[in-house]
Chain A
Amino acid sequence: MFAITLLNLSIDDDTLQLPIDTGLRVQSQSMNEDRTIKNPQLEFRLYAGRLLFTFLVVLIMAGVLLWRYYHLQVVSHENFVTLSDRNRVLVEPLPPTRGLIYDRNGVLLADNRPSFNLSIVKERAGDIDGLLAELDKLIGITDAEKERFFKQLARRRRPYEPVPLKLNLDEREQGILAVNEYRLSGMDVTVQLLRYYPFGPELAHVLGYVGRINDQEIQELDPVRYSGTLVVGKTGLEKYYEDQLLGEVGYQTVETNARGRVMRQLDRTDPSPGQDLQLYLDSRLQHVAYESLGGERGAVVAIEVATGGVLAMASAPSFDANEFVTGIGTDSYNALLNSPDRPLFDRVLQGQYPPGSTVKPIYGIAALQSGTISQDYRIYDPGFYRLKNDKRKYRDWKKGGHGSKIYLQDAIIQSCDTFFYDVGVKMTVDTLSLYGTRFGLGQKTGLDMPSERAGIMPSRAWKRAAKGVAWYPGDTVNTSIGQGFTLATPIQLAVATSRIASRGEIRVPQLVRKQHGVPPPAGIIKVSENNWNYVHQAMQEVVHGLRGTAKVINKGLAYHIAGKTGTAQVIGIKQDEEYDAALVAKRNRDHALFIAFAPVENPRIAVSVLVENGEHGSSTAAPLARKLIDAYMEYYPESLPVESPDESR
């Protein structure tokens, strides 16, 4: 009621004052001046009415404000609480520390090292191009780094999140940046653990490397497990054991301020670091193996006979895996990719070569064990072999032949091709294939590495499937000396050698030790002891005998090595054509091969060596094996110090 009275007062004032107004005006005119006689009572009523009216308006406006605050704070309260929490609470992934890789003696092969990275916070930088130009002037920014930076900048990210520009700053660069920091707004140097491979090229093919997760991998990887993780294993053990090495991601819930800076931690789930890996590999032997190849292209593999563990596995030439961790430049990468020496190519697992005469011990065992021949079987070697009803001469490597009374042992020691042509044809390709497969040819060895190739152990079925034609007797002749269609990788040859050495124990080669002690073999190749002794003796004579093809390496040997040389033809030699090494370009020369195990009496190490275009297994490949076995015998004079190297860390 009071309010209505007030309103009436204020609204009616015009009508109220009208007569008085006129009266006053008359008076003022008569007095001829502006100042009129006032009517204080009326004026006060007028004023009070207006004042109380405005106060009413004030109350209404206050009501409007309170309604607005009520609406925000009570009606929409829940909604704003959510917005406020989303503002301040941020779930940050905590990337796990990648598992380390040790050799069998606890020597660190893959380490995590703090790396100083230069990042840019776009929001604080303002002029990005200007900043990049300035940084380029100071420490040099490559185009590849710029390209990667802008690519990542374009991806979805939260405000004030630093985007890496240059990884792994050296001390000089850190210094330059520290001095100039005050004028480089938006620049951020952070520390992060980054993979480091202390052995560089020596182990690049074995360990492989980690690299930045690329666009394609982002699609395939579990986004939760990899949140916060920048790198993924790309090749080698890093790829094969990615799951174990990665670890489990942790989280922290943090409160951030408006500029994205973390103010306080609300809660935290620690990441669990990835598993460490312990290898069978001995870094000292790896060094010997890699160094022994010198400037040659080739591969050296050593396997511990008792366990199937890989002691050394070198492929040359190699590359420095550390370059890939921080992101290799396009130019350097193309140089590696296009080099005729193919340094990125792992010859141990992916190089498929004709094994040549190195298969002779296997086929010798096959001939004896299958009953095709006895140890007394002997031939006369005129220097060539002829199939029945065929004029074609299959030549022995030795012009004029090895002469009469060639037994199987002689054939292995002197690497007599004619003998194996004859015996091979006698036992047929089926027996060759059966035994070759038992010793691991033509199939992946199952080594714990990605991208292993299977090679080829030819058979009738294989030829029909692969070539679409029937098996010819001539194919058997070529196969019987490891030529023709036969292809094997150096790791397969090492595995086969290890099976010979262990007298038939089938073991899957392993790089990573998963358990202590010696697991039982996966199977046994059934061959009589007598036949094993016979073949071992023949292989020992290859090195130690007067007529052995590898006798060059027996000087000063304090123990016995059993071996077999091999030569793999790169180009086909036509009928009746002589192979003249001098006339053939280096790249077309034969590959040199050598397999060996030692000591013969109690074999502990099996080795295979391949030197591309090395011509003769005896002169080029065998000395490498000797060096490696010498080193092994020096480091491990007693048998099998395999037990619990974990404590040595």
Chain B
Amino acid sequence: MSQGDFVRRMGSGGSAIYGAPNQWQRLHLDLPLLLLLLVLAGVGLFILYSASGQSLYYVNHQLVNYGVGFSVMIATAQLPPRLLDRWAFLPYCGGVLLLVAVLLFGVGAKGAQRWLEVGGFRFQPSEILKAAVPLMLASYLGQRSLPPRFKHVLSALVFIAIPPVLVILQPDLGTAILIAASGFFVLFLSGLGKRYLFSAVLAATAVLPLMWYYVLHDYQRQRILTMFDPQADKLGSGWNIIQSTIAIGSGGTQGKGWMLGTQSQLDFLPESHTDFIIAVLAEEFGLIGVTLLMGLYLLIMVRCIIICLRAQSMFGRLLAGSITLTFFVYVFVNMGMVSGILPVVGVPLPLVSYGGTSIVTLMLGFGMLTSVSTEKKRSS
């Protein structure tokens, strides 16, 4: 094929997209974001195949998860931001009610009550709040003049506080913190005054010791202690961290090669296909692989921030900003806990770890982001 042919083909292909009757144009998509997410999903499948011990079962199920996730994303993207703004209270209130229902009728395992079962279908209402809380706050604060005044900050704090408190009671501290964080991001981005931020830091410092004794459960305290000294409990909660750091460290710069990681392939690494999948990547592809993945995440972040800055309304900006930052918090917490600088909380690596719930929740967020990014097109 000559270069001329190639150019011609590209040209005709391009015209096919842009010249086609407005099906494509009418569809609200952010192509750079979509492409980056597809690349991430591809990388995820690639690692999962190795991490699950060459299991096509997991790969097929994850493909379905991605399918559902991207469908949810595209569907959500079609909703105009104004509509999201107007009905923002609906998922929030619904979510809070479901959280109450979880406390009353929930099912669960290992002493935690996190699930609702309806007609044999199980789901975790706390996941809904991960999207509903930033939506609610963006809607609330977006209508106010910024920076928010005292009473608005107060109401916003109440909105932020209710779901995490209900989630802590389940108990699920990790999710509660993530939900609260997504709300705080909205508040922060809305230009919350320095005095508030300062007092928030003070309050947090005061509350932390109290949390240690009154809110944290034994196993949670254990996890935090384990972070500082994993050798203290080698076969208990320290095991995961010891094995994941061995996996990461033994990977070196270039890694042991795909499907050749001994730590993961020989089952020394627990939860290698879910929360600890980054250790598999680090073992088999080394620091190069980790850096490339981090680069991919940062590229997604950059694209999201461009969307944030281009957003037409303050609601859109706040919502998009919160979703973007929460996404990175997931990445940071996961990579931090697997490498032993953060306590082990059940946070999956976004779009790479196996599991439908997390993928769908994240893609719901990216759907709303896309909706915000195409707001301009809508208004024109």
Contact = CB atoms under 8 A, between A and B. Distances in A.
Interface of A: 11, 13-14, 17, 21, 24-25, 28, 34-40, 43-44, 46-48, 50-52, 54-55, 58-59, 61-62, 64-66, 68-70, 72-74, 76-77, 79-81, 83-84, 87-88, 255-259, 263
A18 to B, nearest CB: 9
B301 A66 contact: no
B141 to A, nearest CB: 11
A24 B145 contact: yes
B26 interface: no
A23 to B, nearest CB: 10
Interface in B110-151: 143-147, 149
Contacts of B273: none
A55 B325 CA distance: 8
Contacts of B317: 44, 47, 51
A68 B267 contact: no
A13 B191 CA distance: 8
B287 A73 contact: yes
Contacts of B282: 69, 72-73
Interface string B279-309: 0001000110011001001100100010011
Given A47-B190, A51-B321, A72 B249 contact: yes
A17 B144 contact: no
Interface of B: 143-147, 149, 152, 185, 188-191, 193-195, 243, 245-253, 262-263, 266-268, 282, 286-287, 290-291, 294, 297-298, 301, 305, 308-309, 314, 317-318, 321, 325, 328, 332, 335-336, 339-341
B144 A36 contact: yes
Contact of B144 (A35, A69, A256, A259): A35
Contact of B309 (A51, A65, A80, A88): A51
Majority SS at the chain A contact face: helix
A62 B294 contact: yes
Contact of A39 (B145, B185, B332): B145
A65 B249 contact: no
A74 B287 contact: yes
Contacts of B266: 87-88, 255-258, 263
22 contacts: A11-B194, A13-B191, A17-B147, A21-B147, A34-B144, A39-B145, A43-B145, A51-B309, A61-B328, A65-B335, A69-B248, A73-B248, A73-B251, A73-B253, A73-B282, A80-B249, A84-B262, A87-B243, A87-B263, A87-B266, A258-B243, A258-B267
A50 B250 CA distance: 39
Given A28-B145, A51-B189, A65-B335, A76 B249 contact: yes
Contact of A257 (B191, B267, B298, B314): B267
A39 B191 CA distance: 13
B330 to A, nearest CB: 12
Majority SS at the chain B contact face: helix
Nearest to B302: A55
A352 B252 CA distance: 74
Contacts of B297: 62
Contacts of B301: 55, 58
Contacts of A76: 249
Contacts of B191: 13, 17, 43, 46-47, 50
A87 B147 CA distance: 56
A65 B252 CA distance: 15
Contacts of B321: 47, 50-51, 54
A126 to B, nearest CB: 14
Contacts of A46: 146-147, 191
B314 A43 contact: yes
B290 A77 contact: no
A79 B305 contact: no
B145 A37 contact: yes
Contacts of A35: 143-145
Contact of B268 (A52, A66, A88): A88
Nearest to B189: A50
Contacts of A58: 298, 301, 325, 328
With most chain B CB atoms within 10 A of its CB, the pick from A34, A72, A74, A77 is A72
